[in-house]
């Protein structure tokens, strides 16, 4: 494929793993590409059409792109910026000794691009592919570009964050068949420019704020690491019990409704009920009995407890004593109170001297029997005095209204709460944020 006059020219800064793959793949899609690096050995190899790293299909893509004239390389950053429409920054962001992130290479390349932009007429889009912590682009790199160019982002040039989702060994395939395309943008013009670079490729597409795009990569890789550790811990426990771990996990992996799905992954309140706490507790106990170290499993309940404390601290930090709780069962749509985090939250608020009232459409004292009745009698014997069916009484009583239900009647009552009442949302109800002032709405983790 020959370079197309309709396709923007791309300069790629940093010809390591991500940069080389990006340069070769964009060139294979018809873009004129100029690679920039300080390593003369890489540049020499690429000028001869030789890939500087081993990766399936990369060698043939590089050879073809160089032979066709679509891919060239240079040490001159200014020339690369002046002769391109889009600059991709793909330099390394290594860990510091303390676990932080080094931005030294990012800052160096940003300085080169910013200096070059000072002498360029016309619009230019700077795109960061490097992995960096949320806020790095907006707080560190954009100001540097503006300072050195003497220009303004969104007016004279654009900035985007475009994280890559490439796996070594299959990176060319991943580039051409991505799981998703994410573009963080300073403004629509730049976001559109970058998204069009991936025209025709499959997968969902997202145009989001810069920091959201930065965060996505960390969420992805942390979850991948968590999955590896979870699978290995299950394997170790199965081996200690004489079970075939792969047979167990084959059954686990077959469930794409609850296990390999979006279920349970959206931020909300702590888990509870008769199953999750009990089974996690029992499995970690089994691991200890068989001398299997399983730190991921062992810290699940500790993490859940920390999330409950976040909610407690959020309510207490307001310095208001009168609290209305909407929702008491361990999750909406049930009357099961066993190990309910809302019961625990109510108990702790009362212990801190709060005047608590509770409404839960699914929990009626007159109908409670068995384990639910026993749980109330044992854990919160004065619950009968706190429960009410009067929604307006709840909203008039509470200086703080804690929402842990999506019951329509309860939500409507919260929306009618007097001005000045603070709503603490534990289950993510966007309409409550829309109907309250910024000082009257607190989301637990959003």
Mark whether 275 is an active-site residue. yes
CB atoms within 10 A of CB 345: 25
Q: Is 377 annotated as a binding residue?
A: no
Q: Is 209 annotated as a binding residue?
A: no
Q: Is 266 annotated as a binding residue?
A: yes
CA distances from 347 to 264, 269, 295, 372 (A): 25, 16, 29, 16
Q: Is 411 annotated as a binding residue?
A: no
Cα separation, 26 vs 10, whole angstroms: 8
Q: Is 168 annotated as a binding residue?
A: yes
SS3 content of the chain, % helix, strand, coil (to 5): 45, 15, 40
Nearest C-alpha neighbor of 88 from the set 27, 45, 144, 43 = 27
Q: Is 93 annotated as a binding residue?
A: yes
* Size (the chain), residues: 446
Task: Name the 3-class secondary structure at 419.
Answer: coil
Q: Is 341 annotated as a binding residue?
A: no
Cα separation, 308 vs 344, whole angstroms: 8
Catalytic choice (20, 25, 275, 354) = 275
Q: Is 365 annotated as a binding residue?
A: no
Q: Is 265 annotated as a binding residue?
A: yes
Q: Is 338 annotated as a binding residue?
A: yes
- For the chain, how big is the Rg over CA atoms in Å? 28
Q: Is 268 annotated as a binding residue?
A: yes
Cα separation, 175 vs 50, whole angstroms: 20
Q: Is 227 annotated as a binding residue?
A: no
Q: Is 37 annotated as a binding residue?
A: yes
Cα separation, 41 vs 363, whole angstroms: 71
CA distances from 82 to 9, 10, 70, 72 (A): 10, 11, 17, 15
Q: What is the DSSP string of 311-339?
A: HHHHHHTTT--EEEEE--SSSTT----TT
Cα separation, 49 vs 71, whole angstroms: 9
Q: Is 165 annotated as a binding residue?
A: yes
**Burial label, 47 (beta-carbon count in 10 A; 0-12, 13-18, 19+):** middle
Q: Is 42 annotated as a binding residue?
A: yes
Q: Is 180 annotated as a binding residue?
A: no
Estimate the crossing angle of helix 245-253 against helix 210-241, to 10 degrees: 140
Q: Is 217 annotated as a binding residue?
A: yes
Q: Is 146 annotated as a binding residue?
A: no
Whose tokens are 């018809």? That residue is 30
Task: Name the 3-class secondary structure at 59.
Answer: helix
Structure tokens at 145: 């570009």
Identify the helix (H) or strand (E) that includes residue 403.
strand 400-403
Catalytic annotation, residues: 275
Annotated binding site: 37, 42, 93, 131, 165-168, 217, 264-268, 272, 278, 331, 338
Annotated binding site for substrate: 165-168, 217, 264-268, 272, 331
Annotated binding site for NAD(+): 37, 42, 93, 131, 168, 278, 338
């Amino acid at each position: 494929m020959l370079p197309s006059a309709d396709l923007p020219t791309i300069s790629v800064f940093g010809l390591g793993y991500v940069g080389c793959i990006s340069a070769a793949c964009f060139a294979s899609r018809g873009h004129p590409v100029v690679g920039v690096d300080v390593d003369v050995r890489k540049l020499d190899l690429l000028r001869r059409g030789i890939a500087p790293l081993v990766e399936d299909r990369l060698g043939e893509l590089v050879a073809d792109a160089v032979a066709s004239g679509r891919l060239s390389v240079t040490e001159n950053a200014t020339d690369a910026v002046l002769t391109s429409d889009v600059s991709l920054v793909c330099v390394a962001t290594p860990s510091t000794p303390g676990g932080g992130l080094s931005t030294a290479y990012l800052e160096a390349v940003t300085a080169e691009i910013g200096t070059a932009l000072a002498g360029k007429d016309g619009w230019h889009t700077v795109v960061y592919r490097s992995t960096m912590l949320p806020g790095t682009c907006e707080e560190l790199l954009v100001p540097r570009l503006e300072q050195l160019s003497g220009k303004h982002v969104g007016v004279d040039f654009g900035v985007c964050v475009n994280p890559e989702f490439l796996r070594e060994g299959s990176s060319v395939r991943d580039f051409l068949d991505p799981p998703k395309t994410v573009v963080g943008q300073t403004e629509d013009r730049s976001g559109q420019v970058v998204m069009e670079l991936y025209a025709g490729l499959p997968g969902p597409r997202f145009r989001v704020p810069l920091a959201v795009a930065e965060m996505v990569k960390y969420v992805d890789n942390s979850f991948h690491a968590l999955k590896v550790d979870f699978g290995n811990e299950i394997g170790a426990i199965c081996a200690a019990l004489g079970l075939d771990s792969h047979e167990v996990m084959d059954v686990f992996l077959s469930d794409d409704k609850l296990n390999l799905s979006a279920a349970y992954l959206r931020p909300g309140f702590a888990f509870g009920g008769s199953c999750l706490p009990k089974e996690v507790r029992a499995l970690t106990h089994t691991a200890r009995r068989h001398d299997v170290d399983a730190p991921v499993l062992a810290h699940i309940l500790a993490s859940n407890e920390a999330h409950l404390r976040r909610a407690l601290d959020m309510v207490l930090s307001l310095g208001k004593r009168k609290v209305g709780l909407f929702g008491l069962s361990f999750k909406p749509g049930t009357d099961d109170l066993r190990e309910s985090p809302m019961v625990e939250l109510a108990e702790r608020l009362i212990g801190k001297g709060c005047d608590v009232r509770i409404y839960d459409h699914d929990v009626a004292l007159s109908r409670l029997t068995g384990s639910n009745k026993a749980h109330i009698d044992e854990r919160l014997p004065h619950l009968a005095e706190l429960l009410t069916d009067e929604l307006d009484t709840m909203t008039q009583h509470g200086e703080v209204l804690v929402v842990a239900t999506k019951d329509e009647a309860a939500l409507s009552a919260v929306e009618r709460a007097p001005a000045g009442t603070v709503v603490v949302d534990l289950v993510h109800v966007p309409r409550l944020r829309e109907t309250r002032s910024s000082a009257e709405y607190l989301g637990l983790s959003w």
